[in-house]
Amino acid sequence: MSEIVKPSILPGFMELLPKDQIQFNRIKEVIRQTYEEFGFLPLDTPLLEKSEVLLAKGQGETEKQVYRFEKGSADISMRFDLTVPLARYVAQHYSELNFPFRRYHIAKVYRGERNQRGRYREFYQCDIDTIGENSLDIINDAEIPAVIYNLFSRLDIGDFTIRINNRKVLKGFFESLGIEDSQSVLRIVDKVEKIGVENVVKEITELGISNEAANSIMDFISVKGTNSEKIQQLKDLGIQNEIFTEGLGEIEQVFEYLKAFQVPEKNTNFDLTIARGLDYYTGTVYETMLNAHPEIGSICSGGRYDDLAGFYTKQKLPGVGISIGLTRLFFQLKDAGIIKDEENTLSDVLIIPFDGFVNDAISLATELRKSGVKVFLYTEKAKLGKKMKYADGLSIPYTIMVGEDEVKNQKFMFKDMKSGNQEELSIEDIVSKFNK
């Protein structure tokens, strides 16, 4: 045999041991199911794209991070998000899709970022987007938080708040103050949680905006009360600006629809401080916070945009969507102790044959499987101690030993691995234990 190469993976990449992988997949599966139950259709685009297509829109900082290479005469790039491939897909298959087009996409994306803790060069994104043809009703902006609410309730990772804002409300208000460069102000306002009120005021005035106006902005974004109280207070300001009025009307509708979606008031917050840095968003924007873990930051973000695919088609395609960065979130939840080591729930029971009773163990396993019990069958000849160590290592909740007495009496010693309790059960008893 040739020389041995030390097995290792690239820096910035990660892989999990089976127990963690089971937990990771469980979360991914809840996300998938929730997305599907709300009618989002699955999409699975090629991971490699033509560079000229994928990078049609200059990607700024991101572009440097793209894994790009040549093979033969092809200039190839790996996707760095799921939004650009969606834009390409919708433009390319436009005539074959039904609009509004709702799709989910759960897949890995690639960014050759500087290697640092909490940053991965390969990570899962879990996206949904609803794309309209020319227009898209505001109801879709309310459906997104309904999906978020259902998803994180099911994941059972603690209380959470979906922060909702509308960039038109901010933009219109800034305009009413005579501020033209509302994008720059939005970008500064978005940092208020990170850098504090004073620094925000300072940065705003550095744009050449008066202290008075800067303070008005801070008063505006700090409005207090329930969601509807905040909306009422903004109405009472009597601001005469079309964009402001439009945005306020949209946010009012979103919160009205959210009641019909039965999303509890306590899980939502009309929060004027969030703006989402990207210029991409044009209306409703979302962030989602775990109440007990603000340090994690937003675990699910997104918003409304005017035009998905302007680089690929003249057809106007407005949309609204969110993204979950699952790989990072998983490690954050682990670090915060929110997801703990669990039993291996992929298998219900481990069957261990005593030597010489392999055929009987297979028969038992097969009978149980026919009744829907998920059986892991131990297959090796080994000492009892080794077999029990294996059972412990796998963390399968129950174990059945199969030997002479068991086969003769058709009664099996059924052991709860956590409590250590044992009971003698027939095949029917075992099946009914799992099917209840």
Query: Of 133-172, which residues contact a copy of itself (CB under 8 A)?
Result: 135-137, 139-140, 142-143, 146, 150
Distance of CA 180 to the CA centre of its chain: 35
Q: For residue 306, give every residue at least 6 positions away whose Cβ sits within 8 Å of its Cβ, in sequence order, or none.
A: 282, 283, 316, 318
CB distance 125 to 326 below 8 Å:
yes
Residues in 255-294 at the binding interface with a copy of itself, rule: CB under 8 A: 256-257, 260-262
208 counts as binding a copy of itself under rule CB under 8 A: no
24 counts as binding a copy of itself under rule CB under 8 A: yes
Neighbours of 436 (CB within 10 A): 5
> Sign of dihedral through CA atoms 330, 331, 337, 343?
positive
434 counts as binding a copy of itself under rule CB under 8 A: no
178 counts as binding a copy of itself under rule CB under 8 A: no
418 counts as binding a copy of itself under rule CB under 8 A: no
381 counts as binding a copy of itself under rule CB under 8 A: yes
295 counts as binding a copy of itself under rule CB under 8 A: no
From 117, 224, 340, 370, residue interacting with a copy of itself (rule: CB under 8 A): 370
> Nearer Cβ to a copy of itself, position 147 or 243?
147
Stretch that binds a copy of itself, among 9-17, 182-190, 216-224, 335-343 (CB under 8 A): 9-17
Provide the minimum distance between the beta carbon of 91 and a copy of itself in the complex, in angstroms, as a whole number: 4
Residue with tokens 């903004």: 234
Q: Give the three-class secondary structure for 30.
A: helix
> Nearer Cβ to a copy of itself, position 70 or 198?
70
Number of residues that bind a copy of itself (CB under 8 A): 104
Residues in 56-115 at the binding interface with a copy of itself, rule: CB under 8 A: 56-57, 67, 69-72, 74, 76, 87-89, 91-93, 96-98, 100, 102-103, 108, 110, 112
In what helix (H) or strand (E) does residue 47 lie, and over which residues does it extend?
Answer: none
129 counts as binding a copy of itself under rule CB under 8 A: no
From 181, 374, 423, 432, residue interacting with a copy of itself (rule: CB under 8 A): 374
45 counts as binding a copy of itself under rule CB under 8 A: yes
> Nearer Cβ to a copy of itself, position 259 or 418?
259
Neighbours of 266 (CB within 10 A): 9
> Nearer Cβ to a copy of itself, position 25 or 211?
25
Residues in 211-230 at the binding interface with a copy of itself, rule: CB under 8 A: none
CA dist 310 → 129, 159, 283 (Å): 16, 38, 17
- In the DSSP assignment, the letter for residue 370 is H
DSSP string covering 171-240, please? HHHHHHTT-S-HHHHHHHHTTHHHHHHHHHHHHHHHTT--HHHHHHHHHHHT--SSHHHHHHHHHHT---
**Backbone φ, ψ for residue 295 (5° rounding):** -65, -20
